[in-house]
Chains A and B, each alone.
Chain A
């Protein structure tokens, strides 16, 4: 059996973190982070294959976290999918400007999420 791909989920809502874990846990190795700083640290430590990034995060927001990851030569190759409830006009382009490779609006459709993930890993 091939080694499971590792996905880092940066998400401040406990229930939503848990939901992600349940949605992805069967197919991927899931690493969880509850805020931007933890996300950044876990990205450096765990070197995930993909990051699911909430944008409205405590301590360090998702946009800034994304920018820092994309600035780090060792990490910038990791695809980042923004998963956010910021669904106003301009939010998607703001996310992409920060460096997100894909953008999904909450609430998450499981199939859509899977399709998006499979495009990158």
Chain B
């Protein structure tokens, strides 16, 4: 249900901006509804209170009427007993008062027209009767007045009282009904306000949830896709239901994916072509080189003292150049093998000391006679390694040959120790060193330092590039520090146990 809602919101052909605005407006509308309903309830309560006050007033007026009727009868009776002029005046005044009460009733009880009409009729009669009684008293016909009083005024007063009682009862009933209605209204209003408030909270939660998930979900999908693309997988498209900015983003992501895929395939093809080219070049070069080196050696071997020393030395140079060319070709072949992913790592148990001894014995003949010392120090905590022996040997040999090439005197130190579970291998020389700007390119192909100016630098310019690739194959990294005139230090960090991961491509 919720997920269907999320999909629905995703598919809405509106911008995220519009969706959020709509959600906020909806919540605001609901809040305004709550306010309106609350205000409406308040005004109803207010009206109820007003009604109650009116009823109260009505009841008071009726009671006043009752009271006045009673006191009228009393006053007339008193006047009959003591027929003084002052008492008679008071009785007449009270009659007038009674008239005012009635006038007041007209305003207070507009809805009781019929009853009020009866009251007024009775009152008119009552006034006539009382006036007659008073006239009789004045004329000294007290007995006659008492007769009229008893026969006509009494029943009229009773009738009046009944009528006013009826009015009071009705008003009281109205008041009770009004109070009850007020309570019902209050309960209803409370229910409506609470319901709408709860609904608005629910609505806000649902809208928030739905909108945020309609945004988060596609973002997550795209993030995952980007990670796949980053790791070289261009096979899939990301599909999101959104037709908003995120939908556009997904479309662009897919377009980028396709572009990258094409580029990547072109690049791969170019790289394969390069590797094939390197392989065939090295193959084709070997054939004539075989003749050059082979014949040079043959001549040197077979001609003893027959050729002049100078020519012999010249031939030696041909041979050395041929061998140099061969090293170069072998290096190219190695690089193309590594780059084509054809170089396999064959891990086995390896004693570092043996590898260092082997490499040192190869390099020692290259060291300037007696001027350069080769020092080896392996910390006792270096455990037996599990790695590719041949590649490790080549790494060490390359670094040592490199150091030997550039060091005329002093020492070459090979240090090995264990650090944070990794093997650290350092080759430090006291040679010519390198300029800082040369260091940034030192591991690139054909970036030989001083190759044009120094006669002794007979390297191929591929040694360090190959070394770096080999270190990468073994799951490690290589770095270099150098000071011009003081020497260079190459540091290799290798896993003690090769575990098949390749941090570099």
Contact = CB atoms under 8 A, between A and B. Distances in A.
Interface stretch (A33-41, A80-88, A92-100): A80-88
A13 B343 contact: no
Interface in B272-294: 279, 282-284, 286-294
A99 B293 CA distance: 28
Contact of A107 (B283, B284, B293, B337): B293
Contact of A88 (B292, B326, B342, B344): B342
B493 to A, nearest CB: 27
A19 B286 contact: no
A110 B297 contact: yes
B337 A89 contact: yes
B337 to A, nearest CB: 6
B287 A19 contact: no
B326 A107 contact: yes
B294 A110 contact: yes
Interface of B is mostly: helix
Interface in A84-120: 85-90, 105-108, 110
A22 interface: yes
B298 A106 contact: no
Contacts, number: 61
A15 B286 contact: no
A106 B289 CA distance: 8
B191 interface: no
A15 B291 contact: yes
Contacts of B279: 88
Interface residues of A, number: 18
Contacts of B322: 107
Contacts of B400: none
A109 to B, nearest CB: 8
Nearest to A13: B287
B294 A23 contact: yes
Contact of B286 (A22, A85, A89, A110): A85
Contacts of A87: 282-283, 286, 330, 333
Given A85-B290, A107-B290, A19 B283 contact: no
Which one of B288, B290, B301 has the highest number of Cβ atoms from chain A below 10 Å of its Cβ? B290
B103 to A, nearest CB: 125
B74 interface: no
A4 interface: no
Contact of A19 (B282, B294, B342): B294
A11 B386 CA distance: 42
Contacts of B284: 85
A19 B291 contact: yes
B290 A108 contact: yes
B192 to A, nearest CB: 83
Nearest to B336: A88
A23 B297 CA distance: 10
A61 to B, nearest CB: 14
Given A87-B282, A87-B333, 4 more contacts: A16-B294, A88-B337, A107-B289, A110-B301
16 contacts: A13-B287, A16-B291, A19-B290, A19-B291, A19-B295, A56-B283, A85-B283, A85-B284, A85-B287, A87-B282, A87-B333, A88-B283, A88-B342, A89-B337, A89-B343, A110-B294
**Closest 6 CB pairs between A and B?**
A85-B286, A107-B290, A15-B291, A106-B290, A19-B294, A107-B293
Interface of B: 279, 282-284, 286-295, 297-298, 301, 322, 326, 330, 333, 337, 342-344
